[in-house]
Homo-oligomer: A and B are copies of this chain.
Amino acid sequence: MAEKISLINDLKERGLRVTPQRAIILEAIEKLSGHITAEDIFALVQKSSPYISLATVYRTLDLLKELGLITESHMGTGTTHYALMTHGPHHHAVCRKCNRSIELPHDAFMPLVEKLHSEYNFIADANHVVILGWCQECQPED
């Protein structure tokens, strides 16, 4: 319940303004959990205040990205998806068909991340990996 306060405080601490638009957009992002697009946020935001523009949604998303509060991911489609960076690194398995997303714990990726480091000297930026595929209900039957 007090979650959104922390987002707002983050803005204040950086000397950024807390405008009604930003507050509404932050609230919408929290309400829409999982992978959401700028349009998703825009659509929800419009219901409470129809005068908030799409450009502002994008500008706010940029801001949150810089503050490290959300992560961006690009799946098959041309549209960028965003997700709240609430509780440390986590990942998603996203269904190609129904778009449902399953949250995966970070440790599912640890062996891979460690292997990359030890064998390839590669530091994976595995804060939010997205794996595409098919969920239980949408699996090709053949």
Contact = CB atoms under 8 A, between A and B. Distances in A.
Nearest to A131: B124
Given A112-B112, A116-B133, 20 more contacts: A72-B76, A74-B74, A74-B78, A93-B116, A93-B120, A93-B124, A104-B120, A108-B112, A108-B115, A108-B116, A111-B111, A116-B131, A121-B136, A122-B134, A122-B136, A123-B139, A124-B131, A125-B134, A126-B131, A129-B131
Contacts of A134: 122-123, 125
| Stoichiometry, copies per complex | 2
A75 interface: yes
Interface of A: 72, 74-76, 78, 80, 93, 95-96, 102, 104, 108-109, 111-112, 115-116, 120-126, 129, 131-136, 139
Nearest to A75: B74
A80 B132 CA distance: 16
